[in-house]
Amino acid sequence: MLIKLSGEALMGDRGYGLDPDFVSEVASEIRNAHQMGVQIALVVGGGNIFRGVSSSAVGMQRSRADQMGMLATVINGLALQSAMETLGVETVVQTALEMPKVTEAFQRDRAVAHLNENRVVIFVAGTGNPFFTTDTAAALRACEIDAEILLKATKVDGVYSADPVKDPAAQRYDRLTFTEVLAKDLKVMDLTAITLCRENALPIGVFSIYEKGALAAVLGGQPKATIIEEG
């Protein structure tokens, strides 16, 4: 299983950066799921620190802005690793940008070996290339390690027809197909990520990281989530 965790999720109630208490809560949720005997990998975003797309929109060169965003994901990955290890969960960070004095470089076989040794693996720095989101990185890494499902941790308990915060009448979906996601233009993940998952028959589950026990519920077969797969 691979979990896509946005950088914004690690802010907690703050407007920027990391909330150490909430990072610890997220780590606890992952630890509980890991204790169920599930192999867990994660891809972490960096939007709580720096978002390349928005920065390039105001004049910064896109490739450089995306590289800065990749570095932000490394910070988040290391913070989450520290919180996981405080809870006694052996955790490895692998980066798509080589930085041997900081962490291990991404290598598919080593990642799988770590998972088989009961370690949690956190993938950072996206794909290592500009113009690709961490959504796409999550879909790519999930396919590379033969994950059975890609879980996207969000602020809400699934996929809605509109933003439920702004539209109380928004419809929540329990199940969707990839075709429906594309036809309805639902903003689950970017188009490249959705297409990659569809082409590789990789289901996506969308759940709330803010709801305590939601991750374990998904793994226990009682999902408080929207499941997306081809019908």
pLDDT in tens, 72-122: 999 999 999 999 999 999 999 999 999 999 999 999 999 999 999 999 999
Angle between helix 191-199 and 134-144 (nearest 10): 20
Domain residue extents for the chain: 2-228
**Residue 178 assigned ligand-binding role:** no
**Residue 66 assigned ligand-binding role:** yes
**Residue 101 assigned ligand-binding role:** no
- List, in order, residues 6 or more apart from 119 with CB less than 8 Å away: 90, 91, 92
**Residue 160 assigned ligand-binding role:** yes
| Region 2-228: CATH code | 3.40.1160.10
**Residue 157 assigned ligand-binding role:** no
**Residue 152 assigned ligand-binding role:** no
pLDDT in tens, 194-227: 999 999 999 999 999 998 888 988 888 776 899 9
Q: Which two tokens stand for residue 154?
A: 């969000």
**Residue 62 assigned ligand-binding role:** no
